[in-house]
Chains A and B, each alone.
Chain A
Amino acid sequence: MSYEGWILLTASLVGLSCGIIGVFLILRKMVMMADAISHTVLLGIVTAYLITQELNGMPMLIGAIIAGLLTAVLVQWLHSLGVQQDASIGVVFTTLFAIGVILIATKTGNVHLDVQHALMGEITFVPWHTMDVPLIGEIPQATFILLIVLAIVLVMILAFYKEWKITTFDAALAASLGLPVMLMHYVFMTLVSITTVASFDAVGAIMVVAMLITPAAAAYLWTDRLSVMICLSALFGVISAISGYYIAVWIDTSISGSMAFATGIIFVISFIGSPNHGYFARYIRPVTIQD
């Protein structure tokens, strides 16, 4: 595949995984947790590097999962001690992120791992970091990891679709029916962590938040059905990724920045134009009579 093809495929995979996960982040009111995890996975990646001394996919993925779960557990723990939810998120993620930054600055020296790269990503380098995979052949490492993560996300969401739905809508009912609500919370945090770290190379920690939240927030405006919202969000993610790339080429600027910008444009269009929840909809739709 061409250089450009790999970049478009990689970015689209980011858009797909983030779009799907993002729907549940929004409905579970955990947007701040996504922001937190997108930063704390840096600590996981750095730690994995310090232990293995190489920037390799698998250890990085495991490090990120541990860092993501650590974030979720610490936030829950502080909250249970009486600290406000949003305050405990703020404290935990800045602290863990800071440890990651200190470790990078002092321990990793000249390796291809720096704060700038971790925050902004550099998708232009992705096609040069290839690996050989049986049956597929030579494929960029980041793309391959994204494919695996997307497969995991799809399987987990589809296999437990109704459980995700009920624990998201009404956790108390779900628990009273005997569903493992807390376990599902941590499984979900794991999915957020692996999605974030897989997208890391391509778009970086800051932009992954845009890819997680904005397409899902836009999709929320278009539909009243969860399944449609998931499909739309994934579609918006892909559209943002591809159009973002061409915007970047056109005005010769940062690719991840343009992709995040594209998600913003899609959101604004949705906010203005959506037939049900859009800004102008209230002038068109007849008022619902409440009894």
Chain B
Amino acid sequence: MSVLQVENLSASYRKNKVLYDVNFDVQPGSLTGIVGPNGAGKSTLLKVMLNLHPALSGNVSFFGSTLAKTKSKVGYVPQRGSVDWDFPTNALDVVLMGLYGKVGWFKWPSKDDKELAMESLAQMGMTDYADRQISQLSGGQQQRVFLARALVQNADLYFMDEPLVGVDAATETAIMTTLKRLKSAGKTVMVVHHDLLTVEDYFDHVMLLNKTIIKYGKTEEVFTKKNVQRTYGGTLRWMKEA
């Protein structure tokens, strides 16, 4: 059974079509990098699949079912810049938010929930920052908090929007270690990624996207000069020549 199946998906912002004719099938346990030029619809694709942005057409199925029925199995890490880090709260609280869906209405997070959140922070090397107000964290630390929040959800399928943008080298390593650990635990991860130089090191699958899917498959088969140039419209200097 495929983890995620997308058929004939299309979407627009106002009158501009940003995605059309998107079809793909994601195998369980894969770690996919979604790459493409600016405006290729990478973030939009995540949002449309998660119903955060309306689709014009198409069908998305999660674990052979609908998103509504499998929400607890799906985790989402929005772009770090999408939230206001001056919000009056601390790192532990942000991680706990990942559990709000499970905690349910009219209930508060329990002591066990707090322990789970602390464990996730520990996995991201953030134990010492649990009480820190989130605006006092560096960009890399904020991204680790976001990752910890995703981990605490214990989902089977993760979508991450540019988790490696603007982070320090130590955080990049910590995040990639975490992603690879998720993969070896049988989880499926899809990551919007911007750095072509690291694609081959980081991802076993790659999706080349420019408003529609140019190619999607195993990195060693798909991530070729020809395909990447098709995706970026031939304006790109291939890194191996440089």
B52 contacts A224, C-beta separation under 8 Å: no
CA distance A228 to B93 in the complex (A): 14
User: Is B38's beta carbon under 8 Å from chain A?
Assistant: no
Q: B87 touching A168 by the CB < 8 A rule?
A: yes
The verdict on A151 contacting chain B, using a C-beta distance below 8 Å, is no
**8 Å CB contact of A163 from B78, B94, B105:** B105
Residues of B within 8 A of A226 (CB): 87-89
Q: Is the CB of B94 within 8 A of A169?
A: yes
In whole Å, how far is B99's beta carbon from the nearest beta carbon of chain A? 9
Contact with B along A17-31 (1 / 0, CB 8 A): 000000000010100
**Range, interface on chain A:** 20 to 34
Is B50 an interface residue, CB under 8 A from the partner? yes
Are the C-beta atoms of A178 and B83 separated by less than 8 Å?
no
B interface bracket (residues with beta carbon within 8 Å of A): 35 or more
Minimum distance in angstroms from B16 CB to a CB of chain A: 11
Contacts of A166 in B (CB 8 A): 97, 100
**Binding-face segment, B132-140, B200-208, B223-231:** B132-140
Q: Which of A173, A225, A288 meets B97, CB within 8 Å?
A: A173
List of A residues within 8 angstroms of B83 by Cβ = 169-170
Q: A276–B97 Cα gap in the complex (Å)?
A: 25
**What is the minimal beta-carbon distance from A177 to any residue of chain B, in angstroms?**
3
Within 8 Å CB of B136, what residues of A?
288
Q: Contacts A163-B105, A169-B94, A288-B136: A177 and B100 contacting too (C-beta < 8 A)?
A: yes
Most chain B CB inside 10 Å of its own CB: which residue of A162, A163, A173, A291: A173
Cβ of B177 within 8 Å of any chain A Cβ, yes or no, is: no
With a CB–CB cut-off of 8 A, which chain A residues contact B52? 172, 175-176
Mask, B132-167, CB within 8 Å of A = 1, is 010110101100000001000000000000000000
Kindly report which residue of chain B lies nearest to residue A219, judged by CB atoms: B88
Residues facing A in B23-76 (CB within 8 A) are 47, 50-52, 68, 71, 74-76
Q: Which residues of A contact B97 (CB under 8 A)?
A: 162, 165-166, 169-170, 173
CA distance A177 to B99 in the complex (A): 9
B168 at the interface (CB under 8 A from A): yes
Instruction: Specify which of A169, A179, A226 lies most central, judged by the most chain B CB atoms within 10 Å of its CB.
Output: A169
A291, B140: Cβ atoms closer than 8 Å: yes
Within 8 Å CB of B50, what residues of A? 175-176
| Distance to closest chain A CB from B53 (angstroms) | 10
Whether A173 touches B78, Cβ cut-off 8 Å, given contacts A82-B14, A163-B100, A288-B136, is yes
A178 touching B78 in the complex, CB below 8 Å, given contacts A166-B97, A168-B87: no
Which residues of chain A come closer than 8 Å to B88, judged between CB atoms? 27, 220, 223-226, 228-229
B82 located at the interface, meaning its Cβ lies under 8 Å from any Cβ of chain A in the complex: yes
A284 at the interface (CB under 8 A from B): no
Known: A159-B106, A163-B105, A177-B71. A169 touches B84 (CB 8 A): yes
Contacts of B94 in A (CB 8 A): 169
The reply to whether B100 and A176 contact each other, CB–CB distance below 8 Å, is: no
Q: Which residues of chain A are near B98, meaning CB under 8 Å?
A: 173
Find the B residue at minimum CB distance from A169: B87
In the complex the two chains form, what is the Cα distance from A250 to B216 in whole Å? 76
With a cutoff of 8 Å between Cβ atoms, the chain A residues found around residue B82 in the complex are: 170, 172
Instruction: Please report which residues of chain A, range 65-106, place their CB below 8 angstroms from some CB of chain B when the two chains form the complex.
Output: 82
Within residues 1 to 53 of chain A, which ones have a CB less than 8 A from any CB in chain B? 27, 29
**B71 close to A162 (CB less than 8 A):** no
* B5 on interface, CB distance cutoff 8 Å: no
Residue B90 interfacial (CB < 8 Å): yes
Interface membership of A290, Cβ < 8 A: yes
Please report B residues at the A interface, Cβ cutoff 8 Å.
Answer: 14, 47, 50-52, 68, 71, 74-76, 78, 82-84, 87-90, 94, 97-98, 100-101, 103, 105-106, 108-109, 133, 135-136, 138, 140-141, 149, 168, 170
